[in-house]
Amino acid sequence: MPEHILVAVAWPYANGPLHLGHIAGAYLPADIFARYHRLKGNHVLMVSGSDMHGTPITIGAEREGVSPEEVATRNHRGFLESWQKLGISFDLFTSTHTPNHTEVVHDIFRTLQDRGYVYKDSMPLAYCPECNRYLADRYLEGECPYCHSPNARGDQCDECGKTLNPTDLIGLRCGVCGASPEIRPSEHFFLRLSEFSDQLESWAKAQTHWRPNVASFTMRYIKEGLRDRAITRDLEWGVPVPVDGFETKRIYVWFEAVIGYLSASKEWAKRNGDSEMWRQFWQGDARPYYFIGKDNIPFHTLIWPAMLLGYGDLNLPYDVPANEFLTLEGRRFSTSRNWAIWLPDYLEHYDPDPLRYILSVNMPETGDTDFSWREFVRRNNDELVATYGNLVNRVLSFTYRNFEGHIPPIGELNASDNALLGMARDTLDRVGEPLGNCRFKEAIKVAFALAQETNRYLDGKAPWKAIKQSRDAAANAVGVALGAISCLGTVLYPFLPFSSEKLHRLLGSAGSIEDGGWNFSFPLTGQALAKPEPLFTKLDEEIVAEESAKLG
Ligand SMILES: [Zn+2]
Ligand SMILES: [Zn+2]
């Protein structure tokens, strides 16, 4: 029975392009997982979208002198282009700036309000008497109490990286005009998170399949005590509050962006002509997986589940495989210091699969990992090209030349032939098990072990020598090797979709690789090979120095 798998992926802030840290954190693992389940024949719905609201976008827009919508829309288009080039296979990548999203957010807001989980209260907030407005944390500036940088913001100090509250700042001032703000009461709505503490605790405890970091992070939050949180704020850009008298306020991004998973699923259903189809992925046996970075854990294991519990009738997350961070040449990615590799830049100069490869073998699943250009070039040349690409190329070229461009028939197989074929068959399960349990690093290593073994098999058989004595012996060797190679194309497809599709075509197989499913087909006798061409390109060592010079 095919399963229904919801692949819900973190919503990127539409305030700038994505860097490799984002890709390793959420987008690549989600895509690997979705592609695997599609190959298995399961029903997959993979959704996300641009988080169009929030203060980083309004601040960026003010700096540029354009509207927040213009900034967000431009970045949203950039994301769509990157997904296509990197092969991140969303079923729908929408945005939070749609009438559908507003409608779904309002439905959840009103339902939670009717049930008493959302209530109105007054809170003291900073108000600028010169600008005549309440100031969000990011619009407040002052001296950092830790490093004494004069330009720390109300939410964070960029200089030392500490998270701050506006009241921590020394000499608090308005970030727009510099006046000192007054503290005034402001009416807002709150989510009664405290109400769900016990329910969340027993639910979270039962999720024994969660990664240890996700489970411990979540339990620590519950132990510290869940406090009610404001879900509206004084801002003009965002989803309106569906209550009279709140026209100058908007719903807080953290509250509305997580609802995006549901609104995107509903939008996908409508676009597919059956507006109820989203239910297959949110109710009954459907399993929702949320792919996010570790900084987003509490929103996905506590706050969103609390909202779902309050709303009712929708499945809670099954798994939240949050990744740790990727560092760059030993340091944390930093947008403000340009210590980053921007995805559009990468994709302009290099192929998508080498990046997908290095981020997969080096995925920050259980601890932070590092990306360096030296390692990128080394792994591309020594592993992708030497171990896998050359293997494919030499077998395909030899077969193409010596067997009239067709995969020859197989005769009787001996022990070493059967050993390789047995390993290929087992590899499907041995890769599938960790893949299905979100252990991607392990899965790709197991897959690559088949490439290494196929190289050893060929070195032993040496069909290029054997053909001088026996055409049949050479035919058997390439037939068996091509069986293993075709299996590699399948098990590596979730990680390296572009080269797997290419291999599929070079092998003369029909249709798309997804049509063949998560299966091992042998023998491929009689298939007409396409004219061989390399799967990967060797990279010049010089790019290490060139690319490193662009950093910082
Ligand atoms: Zn500081
Ligand atoms: Zn001001």
> Which runs of consecutive H residues, i.e. helices, occur in 408-496?
415-436, 440-461, 463-466, 471-492
Beta strands in 137-181 (DSSP E): 140-143, 152-153, 170-174
> Kind and range of the H or E element at 308?
helix 304-311
| Residue 129 CA to ligand 2 centre (angstroms) | 7
CA 3/CA 284 separation, integer angstroms:
11
Q: Yes or no: say if 484 and 458 are a contact pair by the CB < 8 Å rule.
A: no
Q: Which bound ligand lies closest to the C-alpha atom of 158? A: 1
Ligand 2 centroid–CA 74 distance in Å is: 28
Cα–ligand 1 centroid distance for 169 (angstroms): 10
In sign, the C-alpha dihedral spanning 399, 404, 407, 413 is negative
Dump the DSSP string for 495-528: T-HHHHHHHHHHTT--S-HHHH-S------TTPB
DSSP 49-76: EEB--SHHHHHHHHHHTS-HHHHHHHHH
Distance 220 CA to ligand 1 centre (A): 26
Report CA(464)–ligand 2 centroid distance (Å): 78
Protein residues within 5 Å, CB atom, of ion ligand 1: 144, 146-147, 149, 157, 159-160
Give me ligand 1 centre to Cα 219, in Å: 29
Q: Give me the half-sphere count of Cα atoms (radius 13 Å) on the Cβ side of residue 313.
A: 5
What end-to-end distance do the CA atoms of the chain give, in Å? Answer: 52
How far apart CA 289 and CA 6 sit, in angstroms, is 6
Q: Which ligand is nearest to the CA of 139?
A: 2
Do residues 226 and 194 lie in contact, with contact meaning Cβ atoms separated by under 8 Å? yes
Q: Smallest Cα–Cα separation from 492: which of 348, 419, 392?
A: 392
Tell me, in angstroms, the distance from the centre of ligand 2 to residue 128's CA. Answer: 5
Q: Which ligand is nearest to the CA of 174?
A: 2
Nearest 10 degrees: Cα torsion 155, 57, 25, 258: 90
Any bridge partners for residue 406, and if so which? 528
| Nearest bound ligand to the CA of residue 175 | 2
The predicted pLDDT at position 335 comes to 79
Residue type for position 14: A
| pTM for the model | 0.94
What pLDDT, on a 0 to 100 scale, did the predictor assign at position 338? 85
Contact assessment for residue 522 and residue 483, using Cβ atoms and an 8 Å cutoff: yes
- Return d(Cα 374, Cα 352) in angstroms, integer: 17
pLDDT value of position 336: 73
The residues facing 6 across adjacent strands are: 45, 288
Q: How far is the CA of 173 from the centre of ligand 1 (A)?
A: 16
**Residue 321, amino acid:** P
Please give the distance, rounded to the nearest whole angstrom, from the Cα atom of residue 159 to the centre of ligand 1. 5
Residue 318 in contact with residue 287, Cβ under 8 Å? yes
Distance from the alpha carbon of residue 148 to the mean position of ligand 2, in angstroms = 22
Query: Ligand 2 is a single-atom ion; what residues have CB below 5 A from it?
Result: 128, 130-131, 174, 176-177, 179
Q: Which ligand lies nearest the alpha carbon of 146?
A: 1
Q: Which ligand is nearest to the CA of 177?
A: 2
Give me the average pLDDT of each 10-residue run along the chain (552 residues).
Answer: 96 94 97 98 98 89 93 97 98 98 98 98 93 89 94 87 86 93 94 97 97 95 93 93 95 96 98 98 98 94 98 98 96 87 97 98 96 98 98 98 96 96 98 98 98 98 96 97 98 98 96 93 94 97 94 85
Q: How far is the CA of 57 from the centre of ligand 1 (A)?
A: 23
Q: Pairing mode, if any, of strands 118-128 and 133-134?
A: antiparallel
Distance 46 CA to ligand 2 centre (A): 43
Query: Counting ligands in written order, which one lies closest to the CA of residue 132?
Result: 2
Distance CA 446, CA 434 (A): 9
